């Protein structure tokens, strides 16, 4: 089999992944705090890709650095050399003003600021309070107590709560395991709470970007991807899906490539071509699209119980949706596995990915119509078709690819009930 053919399909998949990422509206986050408090450590641990080390850092003003990385739909603004003398503070605030103005011209917003204070310092200077108040007039601010240890940090937090600062939350955390002695290490904590609070404050249109960039709540990434995949199946194979002629099964291939690319973008993971190739290999696609199309019919379909052969030379909508659901959901399981390993700093070989994908996809195909995810999608389709279709149609899914992150599977809202920052004092 021509090896470059394999590569070309893998290349197409990774190219589509990039295109999907580029469609996501970026989230902009400002990280403020004195040198050494732990801003870089926070950034490297909360977001994937160790951004503070590997991202492209670019000075935009004397004290502000912009950190970006291709494939991560986020822009970080990191303060450097922040001292709290009056002069530096004036400089910093005017630099932030200037940056915000520049962003406004490009219809961008600073969505949230993390103001970082080292918890063990146990004090906050007047200058810092002024800086926080200044920021809070421009954007929602979360006060992050870094390197928090024990009662001392707890007391400091209590003290800060009593200060009634204009912040949306105060979060104590340890961004990275902290070794005290050879025998004793304080494990990292608090990052998940920071992720939740942040999402509660972010405007809806950048939830996808933030969820993509964070590496703390993998479950949330997986949920968002599953939600999208389920809707995708419903809208693609729902009302009026016509059976595909046997010979045209190749139409499924570009569709599935597109679907996998979209899932990757929602989930947020960087995938190299070797891994993409492993995944395609696992689903039978180590050849051209035509080859994969034939495989879908001759190999995949025979796995699915109760279908066996392809009746009348056609693949039914049901069969196509079993295949699609199996592919989407097993793919998300594989991404979950990779992301979990990567968050722990472990690498996953393309071989392992290929093996896992093959196993999970095969399991789902064998379950066929008994796969719970397939049944859930079918239930959604029935609900859409039913006589009470009006009642269930409160959400327009006609475009099918909403990136909505708020409606949980099962329909409950998960939005955190956190006070929404009001644009008070905003005169412009």
Q: Is 53 exposed, middle or buried (0-12, 13-18, 19+ CB in 10 A)?
A: exposed
Q: Is 190 exposed, middle or buried (0-12, 13-18, 19+ CB in 10 A)?
A: buried
**E strands, 60-140, where?**
64-69, 72-79, 112-118
Phi-psi category of 277—alpha, beta or left, where left has phi over 0 and alpha has psi -120 to 50?
alpha
39 binds ligand GDP (CB under 6 A): yes
Cα–Cα distance measured from residue 401 to residue 370, given in angstroms and rounded to the nearest whole number: 25
Q: In the stretch 133-162, what mask flags binding to ligand GDP with x, by CB under 6 A? A: -------------xx---------------
Q: Supply 224's token pair.
A: 């968002």
The binder of Mg ion chosen from 6, 14, 40, 235 (CB under 5 A) = 40
Q: What is the smallest separation between the CB atom of 39 and ligand GDP, expressed in angstroms? A: 3
Cα–Cα distance measured from residue 427 to residue 337, given in angstroms and rounded to the nearest whole number: 48
| Piece of the chain touching Mg ion by CB under 5 A; list 32-40, 62-70, 144-152, 172-180 | 32-40
Q: Which entry of Mg ion, ligand GDP, none binds 37, CB below 5 to 8 A by partner kind?
A: ligand GDP
Residue number of the CB closest to ligand GDP reads: 38
Residue 328 in contact with residue 233, Cβ under 8 Å? yes
38 binds ligand GDP (CB under 6 A): yes
**E strands, 214-256, where?**
244-245
178 binds ligand GDP (CB under 6 A): yes
Q: In the stretch 100-139, what mask flags binding to ligand GDP with x, by CB under 6 A? A: ----------------------------------------
The binder of ligand GDP chosen from 174, 216, 282, 323 (CB under 6 A) = 174
| Piece of the chain touching ligand GDP by CB under 6 A; list 16-24, 30-38, 249-257, 381-389 | 30-38
33 binds ligand GDP (CB under 6 A): yes
Q: What is the smallest separation between the CB atom of 379 and ligand GDP, expressed in angstroms? A: 45
Q: What is the smallest separation between the CB atom of 97 and Mg ion, expressed in angstroms? A: 22
| Piece of the chain touching Mg ion by CB under 5 A; list 38-46, 67-75, 115-123, 182-190 | 38-46
CB atoms within 10 A of CB 306: 10
Q: In angstroms, what CA-CA distances link 150 with 45, 159, 205, 262, 415?
A: 21, 15, 37, 43, 30
For residues 40 and 286, which CB has a smaller minimum distance to Mg ion in the complex?
40
Cα–Cα distance measured from residue 353 to residue 332, given in angstroms and rounded to the nearest whole number: 12
For residues 39 and 63, which CB has a smaller minimum distance to Mg ion in the complex?
39
The SS3 of residue 28 is strand
The contact set with ligand GDP (CB under 6 A) reads 33, 35-41, 146-147, 174-178
């Amino acid at each position: 089999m021509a090896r470059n053919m394999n590569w070309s399909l893998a290349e197409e998949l990774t190219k589509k992944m990039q295109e999907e990422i580029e469609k996501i509206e970026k989230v902009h986050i400002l990280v403020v705090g004195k040198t050494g408090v732990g801003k870089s450590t926070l950034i490297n641990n909360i977001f994937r890709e160790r951004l503070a080390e590997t991202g492209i850092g670019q000075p935009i003003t004397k004290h502000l650095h912009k950190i970006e990385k291709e494939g991560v739909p986020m822009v970080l603004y990191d303060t450097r050399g922040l001292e709290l003398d009056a002069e530096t503070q004036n400089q910093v605030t005017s630099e932030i003003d200037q940056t915000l103005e520049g962003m406004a011209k490009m219809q961008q917003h600073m969505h949230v600021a993390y103001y970082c204070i080292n918890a063990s310092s146990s004090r906050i200077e007047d200058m810092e309070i002024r800086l926080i108040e200044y920021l809070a007039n421009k954007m929602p601010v979360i006060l992050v107590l870094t390197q928090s240890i024990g009662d001392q940090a707890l007391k400091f937090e209590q003290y800060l709560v009593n200060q009634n600062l204009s912040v949306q939350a105060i979060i104590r955390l340890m961004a990275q395991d902290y070794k005290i002695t050879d025998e004793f290490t304080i494990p990292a904590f608090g990052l998940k709470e920071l992720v939740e609070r942040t999402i509660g404050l972010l405007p809806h249109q950048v939830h996808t970007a933030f969820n993509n960039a964070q590496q703390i709540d993998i479950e949330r990434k997986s949920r968002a991807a599953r939600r999208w995949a389920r809707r995708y199946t419903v809208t693609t194979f729902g009302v009026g899906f016509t059976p595909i002629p046997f010979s045209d099964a190749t139409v499924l291939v570009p569709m599935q490539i597109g679907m996998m690319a979209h899932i990757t973008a929602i989930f947020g993971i960087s995938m190299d071509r070797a891994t993409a190739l492993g995944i395609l290999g696992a689903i039978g696609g180590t050849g051209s699209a035509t080859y994969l199309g034939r495989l879908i019919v001759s190999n995949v379909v025979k796995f699915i119980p109760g279908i066996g052969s392809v009746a009348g030379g056609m693949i039914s909508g049901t069969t196509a949706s079993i295949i699609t659901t199996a592919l989407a959901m097993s793919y998300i399981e594989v991404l979950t596995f990779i992301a979990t390993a990567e968050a722990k700093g472990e690498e996953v070989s393309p071989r392992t990915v290929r093996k896992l994908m093959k196993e999970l996809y095969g399991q789902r195909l064998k379950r066929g119509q008994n796969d719970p995810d397939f049944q859930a999608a079918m239930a959604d389709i029935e609900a859409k078709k039913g006589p009470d279709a009006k009642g269930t149609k409160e959400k327009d899914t006609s475009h099918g690819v909403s990136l909505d992150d708020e409606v949980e599977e099962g329909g409950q809202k998960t939005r955190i009930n956190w006070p929404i920052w009001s644009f008070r004092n905003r005169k412009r």
